[in-house]
Structure 1
Amino acid sequence: MQNRYRAAMIGGFAIAAAAALTSAATAGADALPDSPFGGWGDCPISNPDTSTCVGVTVKGGTMQIGKLSVDVPNDSLRVAGGLAFPEEPNNPNGFDQVFVPPTDGSGGIYSKPISIPGGALGIDLPFNNLFGLNAATATVELAGNNNPSLDVFEQSVKMPVKLRIANPLLGNKCYLGSDTTPVQMNLDVSKAGTLQAIPGANMGASFRNVEHAAEPFAVPAASGCGPFGVLNPIVNWRAGTPSLEAKNSLITTSDVFTNDADAVRGMQNP
C-alpha cells in the first residue's frame, strides 16, 4: 500500500513538474486542434508499477543519415507507454524514471515507413520509379531487448533503434544498425512547447510543438541487404554508411502527452 501511494504521488508530481518546467506553457488553452493524440490505449495500466502514462508523437522533422536526407512526416513516429518511479537513493530526486513498455510487443516505438527521396539509386526514375523497383523506405524499429526512455520532467526521449531499409530487391532484413549495435537517438528539447489540457474528464496534459534535436549519433554499416548480404555495399554507397556522428542528425517537432495512470485506470473502469 505504501509503494502504491508513493507511485501515485510521484505520478501526479511528475505531471505538475513537467508543466512547471515548460517555460512556454499557457494556462486555459483551447482544445487540441489537429492533434494526433489517439487516447491511452498504449499505456500499460495493467502493470501496477505504471504511475504515469506518456506519449510522444512526432508531427514533422528531418533526419540526416550520411548522404540521405529524409523528411519525417506527421504521425510517422510515436513513442508511447508508461513510467514507473522506483526509489533510488543515489538520484538527487530520490527516484528513477523507468519506461514501462506497452503489452503489444512493440517495445513502445511505433513507426510507419518513411519514403526515401530518390529511392535506392538516389534519383527518381520514370514509370513509377521503374515499377517500384527503385522505391525505398526507412522504418524506425526498436533494437533488440532495449527500451526507449522518456524523462517527463525534461521531456527528453532516448531511442536505441535500427533503421529497416525496404526495397523490392533488398528483402525484409536490410538494416542500418542492429540489435547489438543500435543507432542511439537521444532527443533533447531545443524549444519548449505549449501546455494544453487534453479535452475530457481527467484526460491529462499535452505539450504542443516541442522541438527536439538529437545528440550526435553514429550509424554503422548496412547488414542483411539482399541474399546473404550481397547488396550491403550498394546500401552503404547510397547512404554513405558507416557514418560518423558529425554526418547524422534528427530534428523534430512533437506533441508530448502525459497523464496519471490511476486516472486512466478510472476511465477504463468507472
Structure 2
Amino acid sequence: MLAAGASAASAAPTGIYADFANCPTDNPDVASCLVSDTTSGSIKLGNQDVPITKRIRLQGGVTVNPDTFETGFVNAKNGATLSRTALKVPGGLTGLITPAPSWSRPLRSLFYAAVNSVNDVTATAELVGPVQFSFGNLLNGEGTAIELPLRVKLDNPFLGDRCYIGSSSSPVRLRLTNGTTAPPAGVTPISGTPGELGAVEDITTLTGQSLVDNTFSAPKASGCGGLFSLVVNPIVDLKIGLPAKPGASVARLNGDAKLAPAASVATSN
C-alpha cells in the first residue's frame, strides 16, 4: 500500500497541467509552478547576433514571502530549469575564426578538417547560478522580472567541448524586463512587451510577452580550441568583440508564460 501511494504521488501531472511536470511540488514552500517559453528573438553578445529559432524553456517553482509578498524561485526537478537549447551561430566556424599566417601547421590542419567536416557552430545558454524571479515586476512591466546568470557554450569540433563565454564566477547576467531597461549613460534604453494576461481555469497565462536587456556585460571566451586555447581564445574574442561592456550586447526573448497553483499541479495526476 505504501509503495502504491508513493507511485501515485510521483505520477506526472496531466491535462492542462502536463507542462508543469518538472515543478518541485514536493517543496512545501513552493506556492506556484512557472513555465516560460521563449520561441523567437535573439541574443547578441558583443558583435555576434544569434537568432532564437528553437524553443528555450525556463521552469520551476515560485515561493511567496507572506510578510512582503515578494516572490522567489526554486529550480525545476531533474535539472530541467533551463533547457539546453543549441542555437546555430550565423556564419559558423568561418564566421567566428579567420586563420592567421602565424598559426602552426597542426592548428591550421585541425581548423580546415573541422570546416570540411562541419562548419556549424552552436551556442547553448547554461545556468551557472540561482534564478531570481519577481512576479510583481512581470505583471507591472517595470524592473527586473527574471535574472539569469549564464555561460554560453560554443560547440564545434575545432573549438572543443570546453569553449565558453561566461562562467560561475563571471557570468553573463541577464536582467530581463518586459518594461524599459536602464542601461549605462550614452546607451539608448530598449523596451519589452508585457503581453496579454489571461487564464485557463486556475492557470494564469501571459501571451505575446517580450523580455529584453541591454545592461549586461560579456567576459572573454575561455577554453576554445583545446590545447590551442591560448591562440584561439583571443581570435574568438576579437571576432565577437569580447569582453563586451554593458550596452554592447542585447537580449530579446519573445514568447509566453504560465503560472499554476502548485496544489493543482500536485493533485492533477
TM over 0.5: yes
Instruction: Say yes or no: does 1:117 pair with 2:96.
Output: no
RMSD of Structure 2 on Structure 1 (CA):
2.3
Query: Where do residues 87-126 of structure 1 align in structure 2 (5 Å cutoff)?
Result: 87=66, 94-106=68-80, 108-122=81-95
1:172 aligns with 2:161: yes
Q: Which runs of 4+ in 1 moved over 4 A?
A: none
Q: Distance in 2 between matches of 1:266 and 1:60?
A: 33
Counterpart of 1:46? 26
Residue equivalent to 2:206: 207
Task: Report the CA distance between 1:87 and its aligned residue.
Answer: 4.3
How big is the shift at 1:196? 3.2
The code of the aligned residue for 1:197 comes to A
Q: Which residue of 2 aligns with 1:264?
A: 265
Q: Deviations over 1:218-238 (max 9, x none)?
A: 000001112242321222122
- Secondary structure of the residue that 2:216 maps to in structure 1? coil
| Structure 2: tracts of 5 or more residues without a match | 1-15, 97-113, 139-144, 179-191
CA contact (8 A) 1:83 1:99 kept: yes
User: Given the alignment of the two structures, is residue 153 of structure 1 paired with residue 136 of structure 2, yes or no?
Assistant: yes
Computing the radius of gyration from Cα coordinates, the structure with the larger value is 2
Q: How many residues align?
A: 218
What's the secondary structure of 2:211's corresponding residue?
strand
Displacement of 1:182: 0.5
Is this contact kept in 2: 1:121–1:238, CA < 8 A? Answer: no
Structure 1 gap ranges (5+): 1-31, 89-93
Following the alignment from structure 2 to structure 1, what is the Cα–Cα distance between the partners of residues 264 and 157? 46
The letter for the 1-side match of 2:32 is T
**1:55 Cα shift?**
1.4
The aligned residue for residue 226 of structure 1 is: 225
Higher share of residues assigned helix: 2
Deviation string for 1:65-89 (max 9, x for gaps)? 11101111241x121000112345x
Matching residue of 1:130: 116
Counterparts of 1:110 and 1:150, CA distance in 2: 17
SS in 1 for 2:19: coil
Identity rate of aligned residues, in percent?
Answer: 26
Describe the shift of the 1:240–1:224 C-alpha distance in structure 2 as closer, same or farther (beyond 3 A).
same
